[in-house]
Homo-oligomer: A and B are copies of this chain.
Amino acid sequence: MQSSHLREHNLSTVLRAVAGAGEPVSRAALAKRTGLTKPTVSKLVQELLDAGLLVEGQQPAVRASGRPMIPLGIARGSVLGVGLEIAADHLACLVTDLGGRVLHEDARFGAYAGASVDDVAAALSELLDDALSPRPDVPVAGICVSVPGRLGPDRATVLSAPNLAWRDVPLVERLGRLPSFRGFALTAGNDSMLAARTEVLRRPGESFLFLHGETGIGGAVVLEGRIHGGEHGWAGELGHVTISPGGELCRCGRRGCLEAYASYHALRGRTGLPEDVRIEDLVAATAERLRSREAVMEMIGRPLGVVLANSMNVLDLSTVVLSGYFAPIAAELEPVLREVVEAHALTAEVGPIEIQRSAADAHPALSGAAATALEPILTAPARWLDRR
């Protein structure tokens, strides 16, 4: 490795170790965790302290054994990551610092399902201004926009977002034209993938299938703490796994997709609920229509279970994490999911299937977007330091 690459790699390793520690850590502990020598760690830490990315905490009393341990942490509010979220029923903005502390959070509720790109862009621009104007001097690592749709391999164009009625929208370019966005590193991400990212931070190193129920259904494949992106970043699109070839028409134009049976739209359509029922009220309203909460779980759980079992057979995973509107009903869904999965998944032969509720907060895609916006610093701190 060349020395500039080595410096970048080591700085990144140390910065991630501090950010991931969750509590103040000493230089000695960092050396242990990263496998770097203590002198190397000390030199790297000094660089990060000088740049204002790390801070030293209060020096504790001298320990019984030898030298005092000075705790290191991520500096509060020194660099910002901005997450923006576009959803059918709201737009949101979240600003965090490198330590994941929430500095600002804001949302606008409304019917964005049929909104034009210009209207959405203008509203996002206002949200961004409100978030950043009180902090004019704090550097921003980047902005990441969560989109409820499929992005092109460029991660900048929305190929299709049926729940917004968008097709082939060059979102990053359109936003970049607005003054508020100028000069910022701007990316876009699929909402389910960003939600999965938040889940991964809560479950470091784990392997699981992630299933995210929103107006559509998305998902992710997480292998040993890493999201498997695939060739176009579309891996884990469990909402468009076919459960019935030639079956129900999906909003994506295909037939028989899981999403056509178990998404918000599908449930609403199948039970004749009004268009404006909130996703938070979907299960209760459906249960009222069907006069049985159990019937709702059957309706959602059977198709979901088939897709989960099949995905488990492809990947040999035994853990499923339910997110979005599936999260609050995870315990209720579990019996029917378990029945279907155990009937079809090979892994059930040798051990228990784990069906878990998401450990993330209420807005995992938004949190994931803010974390993604900070990623350039965590990956390449030297480049960031050298530019400043």
Contact = CB atoms under 8 A, between A and B. Distances in A.
Interface in A296-338: 302, 306, 309-311, 313-318
Contact of A343 (B254, B313, B346): B254
Contact of A316 (B232, B242, B343): B232
Nearest to A239: B313
A232 B343 contact: no
Interface string A345-377: 011011000000000000000000000000000
Interface stretch (A44-52, A99-107, A222-230, A280-288): A222-230
A68 interface: no
B316 A245 contact: no
A256 B152 CA distance: 35
Contacts of A153: 350
B245 A231 contact: no
A281 B162 CA distance: 48
Contacts of A241: 310, 313-314
Interface residues of A, number: 43
A131 interface: no
Contacts of A223: 228
Given A223-B228, A344-B245, A235 B350 contact: no
A360 to B, nearest CB: 22
Nearest to A316: B230
Nearest to A219: B314
A240 interface: yes
B349 A316 contact: no
A150 interface: yes
Given A229-B316, A344-B254, A242 B310 contact: yes
A340 B256 CA distance: 12
B231 A314 contact: no
A53 interface: no
18 contacts: A153-B350, A159-B349, A207-B231, A221-B315, A231-B316, A231-B317, A232-B347, A233-B316, A236-B314, A236-B316, A237-B313, A240-B344, A241-B310, A241-B314, A242-B310, A242-B344, A254-B343, A256-B344
Interface of A: 150, 152-153, 159, 207, 221, 223, 228-238, 240-242, 245, 254-256, 302, 306, 309-311, 313-318, 340, 343-344, 346-347, 349-350
